[in-house]
């Protein structure tokens, strides 16, 4: 049975039993604790916690998931895949244990001809929580299972919670006995390769309190509404029904594995380590395909780094199997064809996906070529010095300068028997990230507030009444005032705190749009709103600075958005949609926005594209955008079902999770139609103008457009006009002639530079001849010391010129210093043959500062007044050797 058929049977089974079929959420998730959806329940968490009322009493889905915490185990076990699909059925206060067990048993054991999976009932085992006598009774009655195939387990295996205070409960897992060829007898407690878990039924009936870990937290009592959350691994069921040994050999992955084996000439099944690499390739290529399809792009942080790591592990695995040509163009189309039946959107957007993936592989191949040389040199130095570990600063240099991720350095170093100082690397990375994020972290509302305090506010008062789409002002009540660690009784003048209101007109930063600015005012307080965020689903928080008076919980305040700020934000957000549509009109549908940011007067838009946009293309994009503004296209907001929005071709931003009803923003109808939660103008002409200010690379295969919008756009164009006018006046030339006039000036400047360089070389040669004639002897070595006018380049040129003038058969050393305190040493061939080393000499001369090769080295840090004395030490140093 094909994986796509298993998927459709599952959904059909539960749809026929009153469940609403909910589409898979995109892999990127707005949950601040996750990068990607990692379990089928994640999109339903707000309904299970009570933060949001569920739109249906029961639902079913096949959710795409990515987990990378066990990435090193991929390929080595039968159970670990970085991408997987979780079939789930959910009840929100509707049915409970009896129905959940009955539905699972029925689907698992019903014959395929009748819509089931046809598993042998006599080979199914189940586990239950040791305290859950009810589940044991139900399994006996519904399934007829004997006691020996109902295994009791403890909290670590069969009690579920989200890891935070909230719903929890016992669970019951279903396992299938694959037979003695896969392991020993004894059930899942003995061997989980033979007894493969394929379904987990979670019975949420309790509320848990604070406490870390999977056990040890208090149970506070029964939930008022009991819920069901189940997860059936689609790949695991495919493994069982297709008779595969493991999930890498099912119909959605095995063709990729086979193509990789064909490319590399490796036979699958012949050698364990080769098999592991082939499985890594099959898994990672599919995972990368699905991440790219959902809008993730390779990068150096967060989600982008996860994708980049997965792509690079796939490419490196193929290279280690012996294939050194580009691999993804051979493998990714195979993965597309494998996934198309269950995910037709992958095939529809494959041109964009392929462009990004192939660009990333090209960049990685260049990184490997350059970085491998650096790493090999560093490892050789470690071995020569008799050490076992590559220093953390060298690993950091590889990462920061050459783009080598730590896991790649670890892997390649291990191949040569060398460890890596991970602690040193981690410390340097932490320092860099802390510096980079300090400002951003400081301004995020709620970032410093205690999470449990925020959850407490949400539990006590419910979701914030968010009115940003409708109003610029509200009369509000302060629900909480939070400091960095805990609630505070009162905030006084000058203090910055996090404030939760019962209702707010402020837009919380999301969808690329910056948060609103404005004020809170009351009988005894004036406060400036600095930032607005959503740290928890449904909860809006404000970072405010008290400018006068005092602010306390319970205060009545007038919340007012800065109207000019909001107007600018609306112009910028609508301008982003316009520029996106113009970009796609000019470049085609693969130029799909993958990230954006807009604030009053400014926007930026990232999109996948290989190669810079020419000035002509950039101008065409700008013209198309501004023609749309001139046509005054209407801007309309519509609510509709997600399937209807997809049918109309609405573009989705993949960082968002969409509910049953979605908000679609149209500019000129189908010309620009996107799912969006931002604020917008009502007619395109209100944007004013879109002036593209820059276009550049932000990573392999990714470009960024920046533009000024509205009044700032006109101001930018005015500055450009004034700049051109000033240049024309200075050159006494009409504006139309400026390009030719400037081109002529550049030609003359380059000619003058070449003549100056020739004269400098001539002067160096002449001075070198004079200096070499005055060389002094130091224990059989001819020595020349001098100072160079200019910088280090001039010193190096003079030192090498003097060295080349010294007698070839006699050891010779040239030492040249600069006014900036830099010293350059150059040795001739005879000096090298006599055992002298420029790098060693410069370090001795400068007390350890400096380095280079045996022939040419330099060091610095000398005060200008000590330069002459230091150079005078060179002959004595050579005499003492």
Residue (of 632, 640, 628, 635) closest to 584 by Cα position = 628
Report the distance separating Cα 503 and Cα 475, nearest Å.
8
Nearest Cα to 823, choosing from 848, 790, 853, 787? 787
Task: Give the dihedral sign, CA 28/32/33/39.
Answer: negative
Neighbouring C-alpha atoms within 13 Å toward the C-beta of 711? 6
Question: What distance in Å separates the CA atoms of residue 297 and residue 301, rounded to the nearest whole number?
Answer: 11
Give the closest residue to 246 by CA, choosing from 271, 280, 199, 273: 280
β-bridge mates for residue 195, sequence order: 177
Rg, the chain, Cα only: 34
CB 379 within 8 A of CB 390: yes
Residue 612 DSSP SS3? coil
Tell me, rounded to whole angstroms, the distance of Cα 176 from its chain centroid: 37
- Please say whether the beta carbons of 712 and 693 come within 8 A: no
Could you tell me which residues are beta bridge partners of residue 636? Answer: 666
Which phi-psi region, left, alpha or beta, contains residue 144 (left: φ > 0; alpha: ψ -120 to 50)?
left
Q: Tell me whether residue 577 is annotated as binding.
A: yes
C-alpha 652/C-alpha 658 separation (Å) is 9
**Assigned token pair, 466:** 């968010």
Secondary structure (3-state) at 876: helix
Residue 575 has a CB neighbour count (10 Å cut-off) of 31
Q: How far apart are CA 519 and CA 472, in angstroms?
A: 11
CA distance 333 to 354: 8
Query: What is the CB neighbour count within 10 angstroms for residue 84?
Result: 23
Backbone angles phi, psi at 641, to 5 degrees: -70, 155
Tokens of 51: 């933060």
Instruction: Determine the 3-state secondary structure of 149 from DSSP.
Output: helix
Secondary structure letter of residue 640 according to DSSP: E
Cα separation, 617 vs 625, whole angstroms: 12
Is 680 annotated as a binding-site member?
yes
Are residues 139 and 150 in contact, defined by beta-carbon separation less than 8 angstroms?
Answer: yes
Query: In the beta sheet, which residues pair with residue 695?
Result: 705
- Distance in angstroms (rounded) separating the CA atoms of residues 138 and 97: 8
Question: Please, are residues 361 and 330 in contact by the beta-carbon 8 Å criterion?
Answer: no
How many CB atoms neighbour CB 777 within 10 A?
Answer: 12
879, 778 in Cβ contact below 8 A?
A: yes
What's CA 174's distance to the chain center, in Å? 35
Strand partners, 598: 513, 603
Rounded CA-CA distance 108/102 in Å is 10
* Cα–Cα distance measured from residue 39 to residue 640, given in angstroms and rounded to the nearest whole number: 27
Q: Could you tell me if 590 and 608 are in contact, meaning their C-beta atoms sit under 8 angstroms apart?
A: yes
| Alpha carbons 419 and 413: distance in angstroms, whole number | 6
Element (H, E) at 813: strand 812-818
Q: Is 168 annotated as a binding residue?
A: no
d(CA 692, CA 582): 12
Contact partners, residue 494, CB within 8 Å, separation at least 6: 545, 546
- 80 among annotated binding-site residues: no
Q: Which residues are annotated as a binding site for Zn(2+)?
A: 573, 577, 676, 680
Q: Which residues are annotated as a binding site?
A: 573, 577, 676, 680
């Amino acid at each position: 049975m094909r994986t796509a058929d298993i998927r459709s049977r599952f959904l059909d089974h539960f749809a026929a039993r009153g469940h609403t079929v909910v589409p898979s959420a995109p892999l990127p998730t707005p949950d601040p604790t996750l990068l990607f959806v990692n379990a089928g329940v994640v999109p339903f968490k707000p309904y299970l916690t009570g933060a949001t009322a569920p739109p249906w009493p029961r639902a079913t889905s096949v959710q795409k998931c990515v987990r990378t915490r066990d990435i090193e185990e991929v390929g080595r076990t039968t159970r670990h895949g970085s991408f997987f699909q979780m079939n789930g059925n959910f009840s929100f206060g509707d049915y409970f244990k009896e129905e959940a067990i009955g539905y699972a048993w029925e689907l698992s054991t019903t014959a395929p001809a009748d819509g089931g999976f046809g598993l042998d009932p006599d080979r199914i085992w189940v586990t239950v929580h040791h305290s859950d006598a009810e589940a044991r009774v139900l399994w006996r009655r519904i399934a007829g299972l004997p006691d020996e195939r109902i295994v009791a387990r403890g909290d670590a295996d069969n009690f579920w919670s989200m890891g935070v205070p909230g719903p929890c409960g016992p669970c019951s897992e279903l396992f299938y006995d694959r037979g003695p060829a896969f392991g020993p007898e004894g059930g899942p407690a003995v061997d989980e390769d033979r007894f493969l878990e394929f379904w987990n039924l979670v019975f949420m009936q309790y509320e848990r309190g604070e406490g870390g870990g999977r056990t040890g937290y208090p149970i506070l009592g029964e939930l008022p509404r009991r819920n069901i959350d189940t997860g059936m691994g689609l790949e695991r069921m495919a493994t069982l029904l297709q008779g595969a040994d493991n999930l890498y050999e099912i119909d959605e992955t095995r063709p990729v594995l086979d193509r990789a084996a064909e490319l590399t000439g490796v036979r699958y099944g012949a050698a364990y380590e080769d098999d592991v690499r082939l499985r890594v390739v099959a898994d990672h290529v599919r995972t990368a395909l699905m991440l790219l399809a959902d809008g993730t792009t390779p990068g150096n942080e967060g989600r982008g780094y996860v994708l980049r790591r997965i792509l690079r592990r796939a490419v490196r695995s193929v290279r280690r199997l012996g294939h050194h040509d580009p691999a993804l163009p051979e493998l990714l189309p195979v993965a597309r064809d494998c996934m198309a039946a269950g995910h037709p959107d992958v095939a529809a957007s494959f041109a964009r996906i392929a462009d990004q993936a192939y660009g990333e592989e090209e960049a990685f191949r260049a990184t490997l070529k350059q970085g491998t040389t650096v790493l090999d040199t560093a490892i050789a130095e470690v071995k020569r010095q008799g050490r076992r570990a590559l220093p953390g600063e060298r690993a950091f240099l590889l990462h920061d300068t050459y783009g080598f991720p730590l896991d790649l350095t670890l892997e390649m170093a291990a191949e040569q028997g060398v460890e890596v100082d991970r602690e040193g690397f981690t410390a340097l990375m932490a320092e860099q990230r802390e510096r980079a994020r300090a400002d951003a972290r400081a301004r995020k509302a709620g970032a410093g507030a205690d999470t449990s305090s925020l959850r407490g506010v949400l539990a006590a008062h419910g979701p914030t009444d968010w009115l940003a789409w409708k109003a610029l002002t509200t009369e509000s009540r302060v629900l909480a005032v939070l400091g960095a660690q805990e609630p505070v009784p009162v905030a006084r003048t000058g203090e910055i705190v996090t404030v939760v209101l019962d209702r707010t007109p402020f837009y919380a930063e999301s969808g690329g749009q910056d948060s609103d600015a404005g004020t809170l005012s009351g009988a005894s307080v004036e406060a400036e709103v600095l930032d607005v965020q959503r740290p928890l689903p449904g909860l809006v928080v404000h970072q405010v600075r008290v400018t006068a008076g005092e602010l306390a919980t319970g205060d009545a305040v007038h919340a007012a958005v800065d109207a000019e700020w909001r107007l600018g934000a609306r112009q910028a957000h609508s301008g982003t949609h316009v520029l996106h549509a113009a970009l796609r009109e000019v470049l085609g549908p693969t130029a799909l926005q993958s990230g954006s940011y807009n604030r009053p007067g400014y926007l930026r838009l990232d999109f996948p594209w290989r190669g810079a946009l020419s000035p002509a293309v950039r101008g065409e994009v700008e013209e198309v955008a501004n023609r749309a503004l001139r046509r005054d296209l209407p801007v309309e907001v519509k609510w509709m079902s997600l399937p209807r929005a997809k049918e109309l071709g609405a573009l989705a931003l993949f960082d968002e999770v969409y509910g049953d009803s979605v908000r679609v923003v149209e500019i000129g109808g189908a010309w620009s139609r996107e799912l969006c939660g931002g604020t917008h103008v009502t007619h395109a002409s209100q944007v004013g103008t879109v002036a593209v200010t820059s276009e550049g690379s932000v990573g392999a295969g990714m470009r960024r457009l920046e533009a000024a919008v509205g009044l700032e756009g006109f101001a930018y164009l005015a500055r450009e006009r004034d700049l051109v006018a000033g240049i024309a006046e200075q050159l006494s030339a009409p504006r139309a002639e400026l390009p030719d006039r400037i081109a002529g000036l550049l030609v003359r400047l380059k000619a003058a530079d070449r003549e100056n360089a020739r004269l400098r070389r001539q002067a160096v040669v002449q001075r070198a001849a004079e200096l070499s004639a005055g060389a002094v002897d130091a224990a059989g070595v001819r020595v020349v010391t001098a100072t160079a006018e200019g910088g280090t380049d001039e010193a190096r040129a003079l030192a090498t010129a003097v060295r080349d003038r010294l007698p070839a058969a006699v050891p010779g050393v040239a030492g040249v210093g600069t006014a900036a305190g830099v010293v350059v040493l150059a040795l001739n061939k005879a000096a090298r043959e006599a055992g002298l080393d420029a790098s060693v000499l410069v370090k001795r001369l400068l007390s350890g500062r400096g380095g280079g090769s045996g022939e040419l080295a330099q060091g610095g840090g000398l005060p200008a007044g000590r330069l002459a004395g230091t150079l005078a030490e060179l002959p004595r140093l050579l005499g003492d050797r």
